[in-house]
Structure 1
């Protein structure tokens, strides 16, 4: 039973890895596949699945509060630890703390949970996307800019404006917004459009795993240190543990929701962690923990799936 779930996941990862390793596809082409998933396929899946449900079926405040609260507790804790124990500059800390408190919900989360739960997974994914897109990422971007080397000349209103524009241009976020809006207003998507969204959405899971596998090629563990290990432990071990305990003992949500939230929290760091690291000159400090987290995250996720879905 367990191999019928985990087997396809690792086969798709291996296929993506070998496609790049054997030069069947380039890293640039793999990046295009990942972009298609994030900007087209997954938003289509979110919009189609959320719009088809009633609002009470997709809004769970207890789940939202526990997952969101845990996210920001870990972010603040990482901010403090990275400043006082690892002595990083504040501009670096704003980015690095993201690695301790955010999972790869879009690519890996959607792929894995869809295989486990079908379209019900989109409910749990969408609430996490709101937490990450509306609150966490904008906060990180604002903090990074305010604490940058040019912070004395920073225009705060311009930073906020750019952050809002980035949010509005995010297809994942807009898909969740319109999906919830259609659900609340009982707006039905026309049949032909719904079918197109469904067809696009069905490509999200396999292509996401394929892109993750191909993206691993070329990464190496060159800068393994205490800081990288802390980020991985926080992201892949402490995060799922706190979410599991919070959902189990502080809420009355279903067991399925507890499992979904815990698995999402256990997933590897998001690719945006490395992208922001590159943008702010922190590639060495972000790529190694990202690769470590990818390895540890898939191990933890597999153990959880084996425990709960075997």
Structure 2
């Protein structure tokens, strides 16, 4: 069972890497594949999966509360350290702290858990996607803008951030799926089938694109700051999520394991995208690459233990 799950993951990563390394595809083409996954395939997958369920099948308050608490605890600690100890500006600290408390839930989390538990993976990943896209990323964007503007209009910043959020296809897919589940609106069979077909391409293409995206990355900024971000993201976060779910909620063993594995995964690609946008390219690319390596080691170890 372990090889059946871990084997395809690393093979798809390797195929993506080799495709770029051997010049079968370039990084821009791999980026287009990643864009298709995040903007088309994953939203379709979340929408189809969530809309086919009832609310009690997809809403777990204890799971949501624990994951939210851990996310913002680690983000807050990292923000304090980035600004006071590592002497980054307010905007830089906000971007860097994102890496300390966010995993690549949409792409890698969906791919890995789908291989482990099938369509039930959407329930666990969708709740984390809500935490990340509705709560964490908007917080980061607001802090970045506040740090860049001396006389910031907070209301205007919040308005622009909310508008950006609602244009995000992944967020729209999750929220529409939940709304359909709440009101028990069922999609016509033909539409549901088309969305399912699109969604089934998400996991393999996501892993392929991530493998291709690794090409060209280098460890140019290996220092205490990078080590802390990776330590927080790939070791502390899964530990706290595991302890929180086990001792402070009444969740199934499957949910306990799924939440912990999500928390152990590599940092999200948006971490590097924001880093590039705000002049932190190497400061985000180095920990992202370190996290990609360690994240797969930690999650692979957990899978080996729990799904052996």
Q: Do they fold alike, i.e. is TM over 0.5?
A: yes
Aligned counterpart for 1:296 among listed residues 290, 294, 297? 294
- SS of the residue 1:100 aligns to: coil
Unaligned runs of 5+ in 1: none
Aligned counterpart for 2:193 among listed residues 189, 192, 195? 195
1:83 — aligned with what?
83
1:41 — aligned with what?
41
Number of equivalenced pairs: 308
1:275 aligns with 2:258: no
Aligned counterpart for 2:164 among listed residues 163, 166, 169? 166
* Offset of residue 88 of structure 1: 1.4
CA distance in 1, matches of 2:304, 2:177: 32
* Offset of residue 157 of structure 1: 2.3
1:109 — aligned with what?
109
Deviations 1:282-304 (A, max 9, x none): 11210000000000000001000
1:3 — aligned with what?
3
CA distance in 2, matches of 1:236, 1:287: 16
* Offset of residue 228 of structure 1: 0.1
Deviations 1:136-159 (A, max 9, x none): 0000000011012xx124332221
CA distance in 2, matches of 1:117, 1:93: 36
2:126 — aligned with what?
126
CA distance in 1, matches of 2:258, 2:159: 34
1:92 aligns with 2:96: no
CA distance in 2, matches of 1:281, 1:101: 21
TM-score (norm 2): 0.99
Task: Please report the RMSD computed on the Cα atoms of aligned residues, expressed in angstroms.
Answer: 0.7
CA distance in 1, matches of 2:123, 2:5: 20
TM-score (norm 1): 0.98
Unaligned runs of 5+ in 2: none
CA distance in 2, matches of 1:257, 1:2: 18
Aligned counterpart for 1:182 among listed residues 180, 183, 188? 180
